[in-house]
Amino acid sequence: MTNSAVRMTGVVKRFPGVIANDGVNFEVLKGEVHALLGENGAGKSTLSNILTGLYRPDEGSIDLDGTPVSFSSPKAALDAGIGMVHQHFRLVEPFTVAENVILGNPQTAFVIDTDSTVERVADLARRYDMAVDPNAKIWQLSVGEQQRVEILKVLYRGAGVLILDEPTAVLTPIEAEALFKTLRAMTAEGRTVIFISHKLDEVMSVSDRITVLRGGRTVGTVATRDTSTRELAGMMVGRSVEFSRATRRNPGDPGDVVLSLTDVSCEDDRGREALHGIDVTIGRGEIVGVAGVAGNGQRELAEVIAGMRTFTSGRILVGDKPLANGRARSAIADGVAHVPEDRLHTGLAAGHSVEDNIALKNYRTPLLSRFGMLKRNVITSQACDLVTRYDVKTPDTATPVRLLSGGNVQKVLLAREFSTKPKVLIAASPTRGLDVGAIETVRQRLVEAADDGVGILLICEDLEEIMSLADRIVVMYEGRLVADMPAVGATREQLGLLMGGATPETSQ
Ligand SMILES: Nc1ncnc2c1ncn2[C@@H]1O[C@H](COP(=O)(O)OP(=O)(O)OP(=O)(O)O)[C@@H](O)[C@H]1O
Ligand SMILES: [Mg+2]
C-alpha cells in the first residue's frame, strides 16, 4: 500500500522550439499540500496541463494511487479524480452558483432538482469553509467568491486531487488567507492539493512539501519545515539570490507636473459611482504609489487616465494638455502608457507574435513605418532588443504571445509600455505572476523610467512593493483618495489602517 497520490516519472513535453518538460519526476503524497515552484517558463503550467489531460506527454508515465493512467481529455482526468482550478474562470455569468457547480455534470442529466442541489452545494461550501451563497448570480460575486465556485465545481465532481495554478494572483491578502483555510480543510479530509505560486512566503506558510522546477527539469523536492525562502530562491534560479532594493538616481521633480486630475468622478461597469472627486498630481520622474484593497476604484482610476473609460465630471491634464475624455488612442498619442490588470484581454493581441505586440502601439511612428509601409527589420530588431533586456523566454520574436508562459506574457507587455517613451505610465500590479528574478528586473526598469523623467502611477495591493518603489503614497478607499503622503516615514500599519477605511486622524 503506497501513500502516493500522483507520481510522474520521466515526463517529457515538447513544443516547437521548446522542451517545456524535460524528464520531470514529481511525486505528491495523499493528503498533502504540495507546492510547485519555478521561474517563469520553468514548465509548471505545462506539468499541470499534462496531469489534467489537456496535453499528452511525449514520454514518461503517470501513476494515480499507484496505478498507471493516461488521460485523453480534461474530462477523463476529472473522472479519474484530478481536477484543476483555472485562473481564468469558466463560469456562466447569468447563472447562479449552484447552477454553475452542476453544469457539465453528467449525473444531473437534464433534470435539475433545485432544492436538493442548492442544499448539497451549501453543504460542500460549509464543510470547506467557503463563504458563498449558492443562490447568488455569478456576476454579483467578487473574484474571490468566483474562485470558490470553481473550487466547488471540482469538489462536487468528487476530485481527490486539486491543482491550483497561481490561485492567489487574483486574490486580496484576506481572500488568500481564506483560501488557505479551505485548502487545509480539504487535506484534513484526505484530499490532495497541488499549489502553484511565485510568492515564497505564501508557499512557506501553506505547503507541506515543495518541488522546484528549473528549465523543465526537477531540481528537487524538500519538506517545507526544512527549508527557507532563500534556499528556495536559490534552487529556482540556480545561484544564490540577494533580495535587493531598486535604487534611484534622480529624486524626480514634483513641481513639474506631468499628470493632474482635478475632481474626477466616474461610474463602474454597472453604472454605480466608482470614483468620487479624485484630486491627484504626478510630477516629472515621480513614482506615486496607490495603496488600497482591490475593488476600491483603482481599476476605474487607471482606465479614465488611459482613456478607456469616460469620466463624468472633473478634468485630467497630461502636461498642460487636457485629456480627451474616454479616447484611448488620444491618450496614447498624448504620452500615456498603461499596464492593465487584465493583460491578455486588454493589453495584448494573444494570437499575434511577440514582435507585432511590441510594435502595436508604435506602428504609426516614423521609426517603424514609412509612407504606410511597416519597416519589418526595425520592428524585429527592436523586439529582439527588448526580449533580451526584459529576459522574455521565447523561441523567437515571431512566436505568438499565447504560447508563452504566464510570466513571459507579462514581460512582453511591460517591455512595450515602458519603451514607448511615455510622459505618464499607469502600472497596475506590474510584478504580479513574475518570479523573484523577473520582479527585480521589472522594478529596476520602472526606476530607470522614472529616472528618465516618466511620471509613474503604481497601483498595487502589495505594500512591500509600493513602499520600496514609491516617492509618494496615496491611499484609495471606496472611490476616494483618503491620504496623500511622502513614502519616507509611511508605515505598513498606518497604510493598512487607511486601506481598511480608518480616517487619517485615527490612524496617526
Ligand atoms: N502550447 C504551447 N506551445 C508552445 N510553447 C508552449 C506552449 N505552452 C507552453 N509553452 C512553452 O513551454 C515553456 C514552459 O511554459 P509553462 O507555461 O509551463 O511555464 P510556467 O512555469 O507555468 O511559467 P509562468 O510562471 O510564467 O506561468 C515556455 O517556454 C512556454 O513558452
Ligand atoms: Mg504558468
CA 19/CA 183 separation, integer angstroms: 32
Question: Cα(21) to centroid of ligand 2, in Å?
Answer: 13
Question: Cα(124) to centroid of ligand 2, in Å?
Answer: 28
Q: How much is the CA Rg of the chain, to the nearest whole Å?
A: 24
Question: Cα(208) to centroid of ligand 1, in Å?
Answer: 26
Question: Cα(12) to centroid of ligand 2, in Å?
Answer: 17
Ligand index nearest the alpha carbon of residue 404: 1
CA 370/CA 505 separation, integer angstroms: 58
DSSP string, 140-206: GS-HHHHHHHHHHHHHHTT-SEEEEESGGGGS-HHHHHHHHHHHHHHHHTT-EEEEE-S-HHHHHHH
State the cell numbers at 32: 498533502
Q: Which atom of ligand 1 is nearest to the CA of 49?
A: 18
CA 255/CA 234 separation, integer angstroms: 43
Beta bridge partners of 390: none
DSSP reduced 3-state for 286: coil
Q: For residue 317, count CB atoms less than 10 angstroms from its CB and return exposed for 0-12, middle for 13-18, buried for 19 or more.
A: middle
Ligand index nearest the alpha carbon of residue 14: 1
What pLDDT is recorded for position 207?
Answer: 97
In this structure, which residues have their CB less than 5 angstroms from ion ligand 2?
45, 405-406
Which candidate, 221, 198, 227, places its Cα nearest to that of 39?
198
Q: Which atom of ligand 1 is nearest to the CA of 198?
A: 25
Residue owning the nearest CA to atom 31 of ligand 1:
404
Return the sign of the alpha-carbon dihedral for residues 78, 82, 83, 87. Answer: negative
Which candidate, 490, 500, 506, places its Cα nearest to that of 289?
490
The model carries a pTM of: 0.83
CA 356/CA 344 separation, integer angstroms: 14
Domain 253-335+422-507: give its CATH code: 3.40.50.300
Q: Which atom of ligand 1 is nearest to the CA of 435?
A: 25
Annotate 20-39 with three-state secondary structure: EEEEEEEEEECCCEEEEEEC
State the cell numbers at 128: 470547506
Q: How, if at all, do strands 373-374 and 369-370 pair?
A: antiparallel
Ligand index nearest the alpha carbon of residue 39: 1
Ligand index nearest the alpha carbon of residue 49: 1
Distances in Å between the alpha carbon of 477 and those of 291, 304, 339? Answer: 9, 17, 21
What pLDDT is recorded for position 104?
Answer: 63
Question: Cα(380) to centroid of ligand 2, in Å?
Answer: 26
Mutation test residue for ligand 1: of 405, 412, 431, 434, the one with most atoms within 8 Å of CB: 405
152-186 burial: b if 16+ Cβ within 10 Å, else e: bbbbbbebbbbbbbbbbbbbbeebbebbbebbeeb
DSSP reduced 3-state for 60: strand
Q: Do domains 4-237 and 253-335+422-507 have the same CATH topology?
A: yes
Mutation test residue for ligand 1: of 212, 403, 432, the one with most atoms within 8 Å of CB: 403
- Residues comprising the chain, all counted: 508
Ligand 1 proximal residues by C-beta, below 6 Å = 15, 18, 20, 38, 40-46, 393, 403-408
CA 59/CA 322 separation, integer angstroms: 60
Are 466 and 443 in contact by the 8 Å Cβ rule? The answer is no
CA 443/CA 469 separation, integer angstroms: 8
* Class of the CATH domain delimited by 4-237: alpha beta
Question: Cα(48) to centroid of ligand 2, in Å?
Answer: 9
Ligand index nearest the alpha carbon of residue 86: 2
CA 264/CA 300 separation, integer angstroms: 11
* All residues at 6 or more sequence positions from 99 whose CB lies less than 8 Å from its CB, including other chains: 92, 112
pLDDT tens for each residue of the chain, 508 residues long: 569 999 999 999 999 889 999 999 999 999 999 999 999 999 999 999 999 999 999 999 999 999 999 999 999 999 999 999 987 778 888 888 998 988 766 555 555 667 788 888 899 999 998 888 898 998 888 888 899 999 999 999 899 999 999 998 878 778 889 999 999 999 999 999 999 998 898 999 999 999 999 999 999 999 999 999 989 988 998 877 665 666 666 777 778 999 999 999 999 887 889 999 999 999 999 999 999 987 899 999 999 999 999 999 999 999 999 999 999 999 999 999 999 877 767 778 888 999 999 887 765 565 555 556 666 788 888 899 999 999 899 999 999 999 998 889 989 998 999 888 899 999 998 998 888 888 888 898 899 999 999 999 999 988 888 998 999 999 999 999 999 999 988 988 888 889 888 776 655 5
Q: 409-462 pLDDT, tens per residue?
A: 989 998 999 888 899 999 998 998 888 888 888 898 899 999 999 999 999 988
CA 263/CA 504 separation, integer angstroms: 20
Question: Cα(85) to centroid of ligand 1, in Å?
Answer: 18
Backbone angles phi, psi at 335, to 5 degrees: 100, 25
Which candidate, 85, 92, 88, places its Cα nearest to that of 137?
92
User: Could you tell me the residue ranges of all domains in the chain?
Assistant: 4-237, 253-335+422-507
CA 255/CA 366 separation, integer angstroms: 32
CA 444/CA 428 separation, integer angstroms: 16
Question: Cα(79) to centroid of ligand 2, in Å?
Answer: 24
What pLDDT is recorded for position 117?
Answer: 80
Q: Which atom of ligand 1 is nearest to the CA of 410?
A: 26
> Can you state the percent helix, strand and coil of the chain, rounding each to 5?
35, 30, 35
